[in-house]
Amino acid sequence: MVTKLIALAFIAIVLGRVLLGARLRELSAWFHRFIDVTLVVLAVVYGTWLVRLLLSR
pLDDT of residue 31: 73
Average pLDDT of 19-31? 65
pTM: 0.46
**43: Cβ–Cβ under 8 A, 6 or more apart, which residues?**
10
Is it the case that residue 28 has pLDDT exceeding 70?
Answer: no
* Model pLDDT, residue 10: 79
